[in-house]
Amino acid sequence: MNQQRCERDGCSRIVFFRSHTCLEHSQDSTAAAAAAIDFLLQQSELRDLCFDGLRMSGLQLSGRTFERCSFRHCAIERCELSRVKFNLCFLEFAHISCCSFAHSDIRRSVFGVSRLSDNDFNDCELIECNFNGVSCTDTRFDDSDLLSSRFIGADLSRVGFRNCNVREVHFGNTSLASCDFRYSNIEDAYRQIPGRRL
């Protein structure tokens, strides 16, 4: 991913899509955001792009491939993201609500310290993903493979993990309230420290 920094003095953020500054410091942030949305809707494969801070509402993005893209601090709501592929993508500090990621393949991607509410991750491959520190409510991961993913320090409430592969998934220092692990291999997941199971 392009690591060029915002031209504004004192700003260390990565430059926004087709810009020389981050979105916050764009001369016309509305136009920059609109151009990014148009691009997202038109392209099926997106690589090495930064959309940090973008507000995405009601977008139909099913079936797209995202490689090494950044969505940090984004607000993503009511978007259709089923059957997408994410690889090495960054969604830290995002607010993601009422979205469907069903049947998606998401690998080595980071959702750390994001807020997730009322989302559908059913029947997904979520391999080696980082959900550390997330606040997650009313979200479903049912029938998914979460191999070697991490929820360390997360706050999970009314989250479904039914019939999931949670082998080597870490739930260290995680708050679990009304979470459903029925039919999952919970004996292969870690809670608190290696060797202690859920």
Cβ contact 16:84 at 8 Å? no
10-residue mean pLDDT series, the chain (198 residues): 87 95 96 98 97 98 98 98 98 98 98 98 98 98 98 97 97 95 94 52
Cβ contact 163:144 at 8 Å? no
Q: What is the pLDDT of residue 155?
A: 97
CATH for 48-198? Answer: 2.160.20.80
Cβ contact 84:76 at 8 Å? no
Q: What is the pLDDT of residue 54?
A: 98
Task: Please say whether the dihedral angle defined by the alpha carbons of residues 58, 20, 3 and 46, taken in this order, is positive or negative.
Answer: positive
Instruction: Supply the pTM of this predicted model.
Output: 0.93
Q: What is the pLDDT of residue 3?
A: 79
